[in-house]
Structure 1
Amino acid sequence: MPQIDHDPIRALTGTYLHQRWSEGCHDVPQLYRELQGIGYSGGIQTVRRYLRPSKERGLPPAPRSAPRPRRIVRWIMTDPSRLSADDAQDLKEIRVACPHLDAAARHIRDFATMLHQRHGALLPAWMDNVLADDLPALHSLIGGLRRDQEAVMAGLSSPWSSGQVEGTVTRIKLLKCKGYGRASLELLRRRILIRS
């Protein structure tokens, strides 16, 4: 391990820093205060530069911060074959650490498979599996699905999509909003026909 300087106090601080870093203390201001307590008179920027993790120095890298919840949701919602190796490994570690998140991710993936492969007949079994776990947010989803179960099963089974109709409705609403509520129905009709 390189020394900060040939000065004995600086050699001591380098050893001390390496020991504390290895113990898991990666808070530079805290380490700087500790060094001042043993007689270090240098600046905090020198300590920062010294602790910049690098393989050449042999210092262990600082631990990565926990991923944000949005990133975890994105990993769960992404097809596993499309995740990078690092993201897949991070998600695996998170799922091992949190059984509730693991169960939710498993149910989400099962639903995605049902949706993409159009296996609507599997919906009742999937809903029973979800209700068997302690996931209140998904339980409320199941309540909504049960109210219109036949339509949901048909939607999961049918190759037809209402996406084109929904897109047209959205376009008409946009044209109506552009009139700021001042346009008559006749003007809206003409704008729709011109755009078509």
Structure 2
Amino acid sequence: MRHPERLGDEEREKFAAVLALCPELKALHAYVRGFAEILQSRSGQHLKDWVTATRAADLPRQHTFAAGLEKDWDAVVQGLTTSWNSGRVEGRVNHIKMIKRQMFGRAMLPLLRKRVLLTAAQGGPRHPLCP
């Protein structure tokens, strides 16, 4: 799951050996790395070329993934192109759901509301990767 540049020497050798044994896996690896590059560089404009290339390959699972992307093409391209995201909002929603689960069957809405507001006033949950 790590970037190939972050693999150790021994891991890199094992990975190369596995790819050498299976041409389908080697081809899949190339497409997955290509998609990862599109994600990392936020270059959604290259997605159409990537989908066209995957359709030409004989990798049925990859075709399914590409078809899923095409179902909501505009949203996918927009998500891969712009720097805007809903990460903080989603984090808050997940935190509220966690509090709700912790309190299930123990208290009513006023206490849940108070806990949510108190954590929001304290800055709320922080993800270790978020500034």
1:151 aligns with 2:92: no
TM-score (norm 2): 0.84
Match of 1:94 among 9, 18, 21: 18
Q: Which runs of 5+ in 1 are unaligned?
A: 1-76
Aligned sequence identity (%) = 39
Q: Which runs of 5+ in 2 are unaligned?
A: 121-131
Greater relative contact order (Cα 8 A, min sep 6): structure 1 or 2?
A: 2
SS at match of 1:134: coil
Deviating above 3 A after TM superposition, structure 1's stretches of 4 or more consecutive aligned residues are none
Shift of 1:182: 4.7
Aligned to 2:51: 127
Q: Which amino acid aligns with 2:99?
A: L
Greater CA radius of gyration, 1 or 2? 1
Aligned to 1:190: 114
CA RMSD of aligned residues (A): 1.3
Shift of 1:187: 2.4
Q: Which amino acid aligns with 2:10?
A: D
Q: Which amino acid aligns with 2:76?
A: V
Give the paired residue count: 120
Greater helix share, structure number? 2
